[in-house]
Amino acid sequence: MHVRAFTEEMERLAPPELAEDFDAGRIGLIVEGKTTIKTICCALDATPSVVKRAVAGHADMLLVHHTPLWTPLTSLTGPTAALMRDVLASGLNLYVMHTNFDHAECGVNDALAELLALETSEPLSLGIVGDCTLTLKEIGRRLDCPLRVWGKIKKPGRLAVVGGSGFDPVFMAEAKERGADAFLSAELKHSVYRAAPLPCIEATHYALEAPAMKRLAAQKGWRFIADPPVLHSVP
Amino acid sequence: MHVRAFTEEMERLAPPELAEDFDAGRIGLIVEGKTTIKTICCALDATPSVVKRAVAGHADMLLVHHTPLWTPLTSLTGPTAALMRDVLASGLNLYVMHTNFDHAECGVNDALAELLALETSEPLSLGIVGDCTLTLKEIGRRLDCPLRVWGKIKKPGRLAVVGGSGFDPVFMAEAKERGADAFLSAELKHSVYRAAPLPCIEATHYALEAPAMKRLAAQKGWRFIADPPVLHSVP
Amino acid sequence: MHVRAFTEEMERLAPPELAEDFDAGRIGLIVEGKTTIKTICCALDATPSVVKRAVAGHADMLLVHHTPLWTPLTSLTGPTAALMRDVLASGLNLYVMHTNFDHAECGVNDALAELLALETSEPLSLGIVGDCTLTLKEIGRRLDCPLRVWGKIKKPGRLAVVGGSGFDPVFMAEAKERGADAFLSAELKHSVYRAAPLPCIEATHYALEAPAMKRLAAQKGWRFIADPPVLHSVP
Amino acid sequence: MHVRAFTEEMERLAPPELAEDFDAGRIGLIVEGKTTIKTICCALDATPSVVKRAVAGHADMLLVHHTPLWTPLTSLTGPTAALMRDVLASGLNLYVMHTNFDHAECGVNDALAELLALETSEPLSLGIVGDCTLTLKEIGRRLDCPLRVWGKIKKPGRLAVVGGSGFDPVFMAEAKERGADAFLSAELKHSVYRAAPLPCIEATHYALEAPAMKRLAAQKGWRFIADPPVLHSVP
Amino acid sequence: MHVRAFTEEMERLAPPELAEDFDAGRIGLIVEGKTTIKTICCALDATPSVVKRAVAGHADMLLVHHTPLWTPLTSLTGPTAALMRDVLASGLNLYVMHTNFDHAECGVNDALAELLALETSEPLSLGIVGDCTLTLKEIGRRLDCPLRVWGKIKKPGRLAVVGGSGFDPVFMAEAKERGADAFLSAELKHSVYRAAPLPCIEATHYALEAPAMKRLAAQKGWRFIADPPVLHSVP
Amino acid sequence: MHVRAFTEEMERLAPPELAEDFDAGRIGLIVEGKTTIKTICCALDATPSVVKRAVAGHADMLLVHHTPLWTPLTSLTGPTAALMRDVLASGLNLYVMHTNFDHAECGVNDALAELLALETSEPLSLGIVGDCTLTLKEIGRRLDCPLRVWGKIKKPGRLAVVGGSGFDPVFMAEAKERGADAFLSAELKHSVYRAAPLPCIEATHYALEAPAMKRLAAQKGWRFIADPPVLHSVP
């Protein structure tokens, strides 16, 4: 498969024009390697460990959600130089789908809704709201991460879910208006909690976004390379 | 006590010139009430509940760490109107010490170091690093909040602590260089964790900053009004 | 009457989308008080005296042309704190119509044209031009303020009128082109006078804008609260 | 006299470094004409009439307070082209002293203080405050312009004076603090009057600034070319 | 001919709306002289020598490609004062057609294509590409300037031409894609050459843009005033 | 030799604090390779050809004047990916000295002065001025590039030299004032030539800056890798 064919397929899946402005220049084929692609891997982040495992597996293409080149560079030093050496020397291509995948049908939030078995769901500006019959414990189990629950909830009931760092007052107000009983996302700030119009369930960024990459890999027959945070709760 | 005398005392405690630039116009006497002050309360945030309890207790002055007027206003509506009505109608003064108190001697980080019994401690650009003999469980107990522990730690050992939202790559690099084994703060982002040079212990913003306000109240004989987040971990 | 009903009525009268960009966030219901409105007052400015008279008259709503919260606030101190205390403590609502009322049909300039009996009038980009048979003395009498007359005029003839601070070179050039013999507004600057294409009649800002508020009060059966500048000419 | 000698003399009188930042590039020798200077004229503004009279009088240098080239130009058309044609074709030099002259000893405000016979005067950040025994009528007569008096004043008493457009809340607060009973300047805005801490006497910009140019001309033996606004009060 | 008639004719020839944004305020009638126009001259730049020759020839209008008032002015001194004195004192009008003429049909690049006898030519975003059968030596002769040839070329073959300073990587990539063998323009920078996708022929800015002005003069029966750089190659 | 030792030596030679602000983040060790350095090469630009020859020669360090990573990158594609692959895969370090070397003693302009045998020379803000007894032909021969001579010069006489793109009106005025008869640099723009206060000799950017790198290589016993533009004059 020519790299151009892969790129075109991904652009159908997650059209670049769906991306937020801040992603300009940070999505698509961000490191150019071999032109012919046989083995494709998929992960949430291009961490050193993920890249080493992709290279060891003779991958020609690594598809990730988060670019490793976020901050514009005028030098290649330290960990970035080491990472880019591994990528470039092996001819590995790096392809990024970020907010275009968040907004895509069958994207990040859709995978989350499926994983949490949301019913009679409807889309929000960002994310999805639907009825959730799972217990909090079961939600944590399916996401495979400890949860922090802010406010009083017994069962989630009608649940708004937003992959990644989605605790934004605007989205939370919308979810409340659309009947949500709780809001599930990651990285809740103190000031946002103080004005939150509904209880918040805080998972990790990884736990909320990895499922979409994993599901895509399964659908396409690619290898998913997991690299979750090492995390536990006390107590 | 005249309000001016109170203001002068607070400015000695947490000099305004220690504040970050973004705090310009957001610290000091931010709501002007009665000129004569008898009863002083103290809290982390001027939440509706805190203000109501202060007013019910006939307070003339409420000292807080976080201003309720962060975003510049050209109108007073919704919750802000309700809060300001309670404050203004009762003649309550509102005084804010924010990053000036973070940077002050005997300020936010100093109270934290005391609470966690740090030894042979030394100051960082922001925060403090010192030896901690407590278990993680005991740290959580003293802070009175569940912890999220990122990375492999048995005991904290030499611990860097930064009150509030302090997981900043620059501060973390400094802590690592100064011999820290772990970094305790709040609101850790995924991208920061991915590049973290040492394990991270994540408490809540409230748990890390309230102790300083509580200690100050105890020292001065004021009433501390607690209003912690309603939070529990799953599992 | 519910405050929402009042707001909707005002938005029909002076649609917010007619306002200049600089009025964003500074018009409409800028202080939220009681939800049920019985007594409505109307004035040009929400001065301390106007607010005290409105409160004394048990008003629930005060409609003004100029917002008292022009400069964005991160604190409430001094005269602003005193004013907002009076407003909030009494549950008085404050509603502002500014450049949207200037541009509205039946707005500021229309009231002025009626007061000065302009005939065969036509609209300008801002303001109105029409034939005026009054003497300068009679114009001053009707506006109830001393005038400063810049340049040689006997009778106004065809007169351009712009409420408020309207001596803008662009509007003045337009008035001249449309056949005006003189231009009536307030707050003429030296440099604008130096390049003025036609004689200028300078009244006060208050004298030119209060008539519209007064007329509106009369039409609606509200109470108009006058608070003109204390002003006299020498010699 | 060489033009350079004139320039040096003026720079001693009103050092360019005293000027406000907005005057950068707008003071000093702003139109370069003949190198040898015999006849010098002086005026407040380089109006067409002033320039024609200067040229008719064979002037080589015209010293003014306000530059005719305020707005940066990329073309010379209309009145500016006509003015510059008169200036350049006759070899007339144009020299501007603006805020550097306002701030200079013996400058704009000093001349005003002398004209109004202020006693036991002291400097303000901008302007001068001193005791004034003149009646308002006599002040108007000496300034040769009608006055608008805002607020209740019988006699000026201790009077703050600021040449030009000086009704600035910061300066007015300072004047009040320094014991002023009234504030004399030009171009008072409605919103400034509303918050004015002391009564205001409004003359014209010309009447307040021309005296300094006239006095300078008298001291140096130059010709002063008057061009006051055509202005009268009604009633 | 009234100056307005001339202006209208030029606006048909090179419509102002074709100009780049940076030309706003820098094209059209930039110095206003006599209203009646009899004698018209034309040149690339309004140099002192060109203006003196135009004035000596009793020209009423000088049409140029480059404005002499590029940098916005708040003073008229040195060479600019001298030039404007010559222009204004003689009543000479100055009219500028810049990027609007570059983009116009029959404009700068069209004249260049004609001079170099390009065949089967087609327009580029900026410039023209066509087959050129001339030798490099003959191109230099027709342009009347020495050439610098960067890269290996025998004959130009299919040649992209862009008048003025046109070595822009975007235009060069487009030319390459459209089949160009070489790119002719002026003012090639080192960094652009290093990444150039095709050989570059560097003439002078004057040599590439003067032909259009000269051709226009010939068509209209105006006088063209030449003022080429004094330039020779070593060796 | 450890890479840190090399870096320190270069920082003594061309201190980073001498660099212009626009070089921030673009000088020093901009690509990090092997830690131990045995073979050092030196060139003006890190072109593909230069890098390939450096790698073929087993270089560990390539010192250049111009960074290949000027534009901040959020992706590595096309020629940049190819270049970085060659650099990173071989462990080659890339070190840049740019405007810090221009301003350094024994830097770019000093090498130029030596090559052209300038006598009784003195430094300019940028560049050097000195007496030059060479013919123009000999200057071209020593620089090894064709020259374009703008204006009338027989012999250079007192010559100002500025390596790189140095035809800046400010520097040219300074050179003229300091007695220069001609100004030698690269990349002369039309508008600068039009206002040039002295004749200009235009070489290539490469010809003016490569000598300093070559001389440094000779002094240090490193290999200099030449890669001059392919350039000839017509006629």
Average pLDDT of chain B is: 96
Inter-axis angle of helices C136-143 and C205-220, nearest 10: 60
Distance CA F69, CA F51 (A): 14
pLDDT over 90 (residue F72): yes
The number of angstroms, rounded, from the C-alpha of C19 to the middle of its chain's C-alpha atoms is 14
F233 at the E interface (CB within 8 A)? yes
Task: Tell me whether the omega of the peptide bond preceding residue A48 falls within 30 degrees of 0, making it cis.
Answer: no
Q: Which of B233, F63, C204 is CA-nearest to residue D233?
A: C204
Contacts of E206 in chain F (CB under 8 A): 190
pLDDT in tens, E13-40: 999 999 999 999 999 999 999 999 999 9
- Beta carbons of F223 and F217 less than 8 angstroms apart: yes
Verify D-C touch: 3 or more CB pairs within 8 A: yes
Task: Tell me whether the omega of the peptide bond preceding residue D123 falls within 30 degrees of 0, making it cis.
Answer: no
A185, with CB counted inside 10 A (0-12, 13-18, 19+), is buried
Contacts of F32 in chain A (CB under 8 A): 76-78, 81
CA atoms within 13 A on the CB side of D153: 29
pLDDT confidence bin for A210, thresholds 50/70/90: very high
Cα distance from A158 to chain B (closest Cα, Å)?
A: 19
D56 at the C interface (CB within 8 A)? no
Which residue(s) pair with C123 in the sheet? C128
Q: Which chains touch C (3 or more CB pairs under 8 A)?
A: B, D
Q: What is each CA distance from D55 to D89, D94, E90, in whole angstroms?
A: 10, 12, 17
Q: Which amino acid is at B152?
A: K
Q: What's the per-residue H, E or C state across D99-122?
A: HHHHHCCCCHHHHHHHHCCCEEEE
pLDDT over 90 (residue D154): no
Q: Which long-range contacts (CB under 8 A, 24 or more apart) does B52-60 make?
A: B52/B86, B53/B225, B54/B92, B54/B225, B55/B86, B55/B87, B55/B90, B55/B92, B57/B223, B59/B92, B59/B223, B60/B33, B60/B34, B60/B36, B60/B91, B60/B92, B60/B93
Distance CA C180, CA F65 (A): 68
D5 at the E interface (CB within 8 A)? no
**Pairing verdict, β A61-66 and A40-45:** parallel
pLDDT in tens, F156-177: 899 999 999 999 999 999 999 9
**Pairing verdict, β A200-203 and A182-186:** parallel
Distance CA C94, CA C51 (A): 10
Of A25, A74, A78, which is closest to F69 when you measure between CB atoms? A74
Contacts of F152 in chain E (CB under 8 A): 230
- Beta carbons of D29 and E77 less than 8 angstroms apart: yes
pLDDT in tens, C146-176: 999 999 987 889 999 999 999 999 999 999 9
Across the interface, do A147 and B234 touch by the CB < 8 Å criterion? yes
Q: Which chains touch E (3 or more CB pairs under 8 A)?
A: D, F
Q: How many CB atoms lie within 10 A of CB B190?
A: 19
CA B96-B99-B103 angle, 5° bins = 125
Distance CA F137, CA F147 (A): 9
Q: Which of A147-156, C70-79, C170-179, D212-221 has the weakest average pLDDT?
A: A147-156
Q: Which amino acid is at D2?
A: H
Which residue from A minimizes the CA distance to B227? A194
Contacts of D229 in chain C (CB under 8 A): 150, 190, 193
The number of angstroms, rounded, from the C-alpha of E6 to the middle of its chain's C-alpha atoms is 20
Q: Which chains touch F (3 or more CB pairs under 8 A)?
A: A, E
Total-model pTM: 0.90
Q: What is the pLDDT of residue B222?
A: 98
Q: Which amino acid is at D217?
A: A
The verdict on ipTM greater than 0.85 is yes
- Beta carbons of E128 and E121 less than 8 angstroms apart: yes
DSSP annotation of C201 = E
D156 at the C interface (CB within 8 A)? no
Phi/psi-derived region of residue A34, left when phi > 0, alpha when psi is between -120 and 50, beta in every other case: beta
E72 at the D interface (CB within 8 A)? yes
- Beta carbons of F109 and F127 less than 8 angstroms apart: yes
Across the interface, do D136 and C186 touch by the CB < 8 Å criterion? no
Distance CA B138, CA A181 (A): 34
Residues 6+ apart with CB under 8 A from B31: B69, B84, B87, B88, B92, B93, B94, C75, C76, C77, C81
Contacts of B232 in chain A (CB under 8 A): 148-149
Which residue from A minimizes the CA distance to F79? A32
pLDDT over 90 (residue D33): yes
Q: What is each CA distance from C194 to C92, D50, D64, in whole angstroms?
A: 45, 12, 14
F80 at the E interface (CB within 8 A)? no
Size of interface C-D (CB pairs under 8 A): 91
DSSP annotation of F58 = T
Residues 6+ apart with CB under 8 A from A141: none
Task: Tell me whether the omega of the peptide bond preceding residue C235 falls within 30 degrees of 0, making it cis.
Answer: yes
Contacts of D231 in chain C (CB under 8 A): 148-150
Share of chain E above pLDDT 70, in %: 100
Buried b / exposed e across B38-62, counting CB within 10 Å, b at 16+?
Answer: eebbbbbbbbeebbebbbeeebbbb
Across the interface, do A73 and F78 touch by the CB < 8 Å criterion? no
pLDDT in tens, E203-227: 999 999 999 999 999 999 999 999 9
- Beta carbons of B30 and B96 less than 8 angstroms apart: yes
C66 at the D interface (CB within 8 A)? yes
pLDDT confidence bin for E155, thresholds 50/70/90: confident
Q: What is the pLDDT of residue D106?
A: 83
Verify E-F touch: 3 or more CB pairs within 8 A: yes
pLDDT confidence bin for D89, thresholds 50/70/90: very high
D131 at the C interface (CB within 8 A)? no
- Is residue A235 classed as helix, strand or coil in its secondary structure? coil
Which residue from D minimizes the CA distance to C189? D187
Counting DSSP H helices and E strands in chain B, the numbers are 9, 12
Cα distance from F78 to chain A (closest Cα, Å)?
A: 7
CA atoms within 13 A on the CB side of F107: 28
The number of angstroms, rounded, from the C-alpha of E166 to the middle of its chain's C-alpha atoms is 11
Across the interface, do A232 and B194 touch by the CB < 8 Å criterion? no
List average pLDDT for each run of 10 residues in chain C, which is 235 residues long.
97 96 98 97 98 98 98 97 98 97 90 96 94 96 96 90 96 96 98 96 98 97 98 92
Across the interface, do C74 and B88 touch by the CB < 8 Å criterion? no
Q: Which of A205, A211, A212 is CA-nearest to residue A229?
A: A205
C69 at the B interface (CB within 8 A)? yes
CA D160-D166-D169 angle, 5° bins = 85
Q: What is each CA distance from C57 to C33, C43, C60, C62, in whole angstroms?
A: 16, 14, 9, 11
Q: Name the strand (E) or helix (H) holding E105.
A: none
Taking residues D97-101, what's their average pLDDT? 95
Which residue from E minimizes the CA distance to F193? E229
Taking residues A55-71, what's their average pLDDT? 97
Which of C3, C30, C88 would best serve as a mutation to test chain B binding (most B beta carbons within 10 A)?
Answer: C88
Q: Which chains touch B (3 or more CB pairs under 8 A)?
A: A, C
- Beta carbons of B45 and A194 less than 8 angstroms apart: yes
pLDDT over 90 (residue E154): no
The number of angstroms, rounded, from the C-alpha of C217 to the middle of its chain's C-alpha atoms is 13
pLDDT in tens, E34-61: 999 999 999 999 999 999 999 999 999 9
F193 at the E interface (CB within 8 A)? yes
Share of chain C above pLDDT 70, in %: 100
Across the interface, do B81 and C88 touch by the CB < 8 Å criterion? yes
Cα distance from D235 to chain C (closest Cα, Å)?
A: 6
Taking residues A103-107, what's their average pLDDT? 86
Taking residues A218-235, what's their average pLDDT? 96
Q: What is the pLDDT of residue D134?
A: 96
Q: Which of D160, D164, D154, D178 is CA-nearest to residue D206?
A: D164
Q: What is the pLDDT of residue B105?
A: 83
pLDDT over 90 (residue A106): no
Q: Within chain B, which residues score under 70 in pLDDT?
A: none
pLDDT over 90 (residue A156): no
Distance CA A47, CA A30 (A): 15
Across the interface, do E189 and F165 touch by the CB < 8 Å criterion? yes
Contacts of A74 in chain F (CB under 8 A): 25-26, 30, 67, 69-70, 72-73
Which of C26, C69, C76 would best serve as a mutation to test chain B binding (most B beta carbons within 10 A)?
Answer: C76
Across the interface, do F235 and E204 touch by the CB < 8 Å criterion? no
Which residue(s) pair with C79 in the sheet? none
Across the interface, do F26 and A74 touch by the CB < 8 Å criterion? yes
What is the DSSP annotation of F118-164? -EEEEE-SSSEEEEE-S-HHHHHHHHTS-EEEES--SS-EEEEE-SS
Q: What is each CA distance from A6 to A12, B110, F77, in whole angstroms?
A: 10, 55, 16
Q: Name the strand (E) or helix (H) holding A111.
A: helix A108-115
Across the interface, do D231 and C206 touch by the CB < 8 Å criterion? no
E149 at the F interface (CB within 8 A)? yes
D191 at the C interface (CB within 8 A)? yes
pLDDT in tens, F213-235: 999 999 999 999 999 999 999 98
Q: Which chains touch A (3 or more CB pairs under 8 A)?
A: B, F
Q: What is the largest CA-CA distance in chain D?
A: 54
Across the interface, do D235 and C146 touch by the CB < 8 Å criterion? yes
**Which tokens sit at F57?**
């020669």
- Beta carbons of D149 and D196 less than 8 angstroms apart: no
Across the interface, do F25 and A74 touch by the CB < 8 Å criterion? yes
Q: Which amino acid is at F136?
A: L
pLDDT confidence bin for F194, thresholds 50/70/90: very high
Cα distance from B227 to chain C (closest Cα, Å)?
A: 23
D228 at the C interface (CB within 8 A)? no
Q: What is the pLDDT of residue A23?
A: 97
Report the side by side order of strands in the sheet with A128-132.
Answer: A119-123, A128-132, A157-161, A182-186, A200-203, A147-150, B231-234
